[in-house]
A and B are shown apart, each in its own frame.
Chain A
Amino acid sequence: RKEVEQDPGPFNVPEGATVAFNCTYSNSASQSFFWYRQDCRKEPKLLMSVYSSGNEDGRFTAQLNRASQYISLLIRDSKLSDSATYLCVVNQGGGYQKVTFGTGTKLQVIP
């Protein structure tokens, strides 16, 4: 089993739709979780950290389920500019700086 698994997609959704991505991780010691966004041929950029209680940033909501070892990202009212690959990122445990990236989920928002 891969350390971090994501559905590669692509997810093709119309503008205004709500879309959700899940990510599962195998290391039960992992403590820090992130979603990064990567545009085509660009570098990854932090979208948001994922906190135990769940957190929201505008149209984006991230949730963590430790018992089932998955995190999710919900995007409401999709915009064309949301089209990108979304990378799930998990650390190795505790405050360890090394992280593992998932393969990414590609989102295409269609007019």
Chain B
Amino acid sequence: KAGVTQTPRYLIKTRGQQVTLSCSPISGHRSVSWYQQTPGQGLQFLFEYFSETQRNKGNFPGRFSGRQFSNSRSEMNVSTLELGDSALYLCASSLGQTVAHEQYFGPGTRLTVT
């Protein structure tokens, strides 16, 4: 089975621009979670989607948004980029509805905002 894939792997953007990141979960997985990792804040939860519905949202401004498609693929969007948005963005997929299911992480997208 193919693992979780994320595209692009690396991205450089300028302040004020917007960016869209993509995550394809493992086949059969219906839950996709997004995380931001920075040196200062560590790993932080952004949001989670299950069957095309956002189920949980972390403490991030409204500039961060996401969606999930019927094939479970997910995208996250960051508008009006700020320097502090430079980070590694990771997505993880799991089978189902609770944390009793193991999460499988993608390789991440490293975003640099200049």
Q: Do A and B bind each other?
A: no
Q: Please report B residues at the A interface, Cβ cutoff 8 Å.
A: none
